[in-house]
Amino acid sequence: MKLADAPLRHLRLFTIHHLLFTIYHLPVKRHLLIYGICGGLLIVLLKTIEYRFLIIERSIEIYGGLIALFFASLGIWLGLKLTKKKETVVIKEIPVEVRVEVPVPIREQFSRDQTRLAQLGITARELEILQLIAGGLSNREIAEKLFVSENTVKTHSSRLLDKLSARRRTQAVQIAKEMRLIP
């Protein structure tokens, strides 16, 4: 760079800077400058893309790419939506000691109604099996406890059901308690 050219370069910078500064402060000319710059950028953009090459000659590739992009985005979105972990609510129970006084009626001592037993014809073994049924034992457990076969327990149970006019074991226990045969 020569020394003689230096002031000229500063003069050019000064005039462009001075010109932009004066346009910037005038509102009407500033809008024209902004629109001009935007238009120039659009022209440059269209020129670099080469409109005719992209739209007319490569239209199938562009549309195929857009469709592929759409379905890939849809697949990713659906995958994230469907595999999203569901919120789980954890309820933690904390034991709290609460003292509550519950009045318990004093029971009179149980006395079995022997006359009812005699009327129904319930044997001692059947009464024993009835008490074990009331205790919640199954036929197999009763058989093991009394050292008899399971078929013997079934026979005694079916005779009890007939004598008490019950259809189920639970109904037989309820009827026996009402008749004061078992506690």
Task: Give tens-digit pLDDT for 51-68.
Answer: 666 666 777 777 788 889
| pLDDT of 27 higher than 90 | no
Say how many C-beta atoms besides its own lie within 10 A of residue 28's C-beta: 8
Domains located in the chain, CATH noted: 5-79 (no CATH), 114-178 (1.10.10.10)
pTM of the model: 0.43
Which two three-digit tokens encode residue 45? 């953009």
Which two three-digit tokens encode residue 41? 């950028």
| pLDDT of 23 higher than 80 | no
Of residues 4 and 59, the one with the higher pLDDT is 59
**DSSP tag of 68:** H
Mean pLDDT to the nearest integer, 14-28 = 54
Calculate the average pLDDT of the chain: 79
Mean pLDDT to the nearest integer, 86-109 = 81
Mean pLDDT to the nearest integer, 100-128 = 82
- Rounded to 5°, the CA angle 77-80-85 comes to 155
SS3 content of the chain, % helix, strand, coil (to 5): 70, 0, 30
Mean pLDDT to the nearest integer, 77-98 = 82
Which two three-digit tokens encode residue 77? 């979105």
Confidence (pLDDT) at 140: 92
